[in-house]
């Protein structure tokens, strides 16, 4: 019995089952690499060549296929992706109080809800306060109070 063939087949199956259980789009590419190594093992007994095939196929499939899969999934969702650059400078209203040093929620524009923190961390912003987004920290908007009478609309 060819143990290398059994090993690569088992690794491919385990990685695939792991992907089905986690849906992380990470283990799938190791499964693809193991299948490639299995195919290589049919032509050569050199384990080093099989390992190189595994690594190349795993990395190449991860670099090429993962962004495409993630993009397809994102486009299939009903919500439009909003870049943090698109929200900087916009105005909104606090919908959940922002405690000093903590976070709350703001509605930006016509209905985009963002987790938010006060730009000045010691400041408390109460529900209903009008704010402007100064920057973002990941998926958290950093906001400051908008003075009544400032001309721009949200």
- Tokens found for residue 70: 């993630």
CATH fold label, 84-145: OB fold (Dihydrolipoamide Acetyltransferase, E2P) (2.40.50)
Q: Is 38 exposed, middle or buried (0-12, 13-18, 19+ CB in 10 A)?
A: buried
The ranges assigned to domains in the chain are 3-76, 84-145
Q: Please give the chain's pLDDT, 154 residues, in tens.
A: 588 999 999 999 999 999 898 877 889 999 999 999 999 999 999 999 999 999 999 999 999 888 887 777 665 554 444 555 678 889 999 999 999 989 999 998 777 889 999 988 899 999 999 999 998 887 888 999 987 665 544 4
What long-range pairs does 81-90 form, CB within 8 A, spacing at least 24?
A: 82/112, 84/136, 84/138, 84/139, 87/112, 87/114, 87/133, 87/136, 87/141, 88/133, 88/134, 88/135, 88/136, 89/132, 89/133, 90/132, 90/133, 90/154
């Amino acid at each position: 019995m060819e143990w290398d063939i059994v090993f690569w087949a088992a690794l491919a199956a385990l990685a695939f089952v792991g992907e089905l259980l986690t849906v992380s789009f990470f283990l799938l590419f190791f499964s693809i690499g193991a299948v490639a190594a299995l195919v290589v093992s049919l032509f050569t007994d050199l384990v080093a060549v099989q390992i190189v095939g595994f690594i190349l196929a795993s990395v190449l499939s991860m670099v090429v296929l993962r962004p495409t899969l993630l993009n397809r999934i994102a486009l299939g969702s009903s919500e439009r992706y909003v870049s943090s650059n698109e929200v900087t400078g916009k105005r909104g209203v606090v919908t959940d109080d922002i405690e000093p040093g903590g976070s709350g929620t703001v509605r930006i524009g016509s209905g985009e809800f963002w987790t938010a923190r006060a730009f000045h961390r010691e400041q408390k912003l109460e529900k209903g306060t009008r704010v402007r987004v100064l920057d973002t920290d990941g998926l958290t908007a950093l906001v400051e109070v908008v003075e009544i009478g400032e001309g721009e609309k949200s």
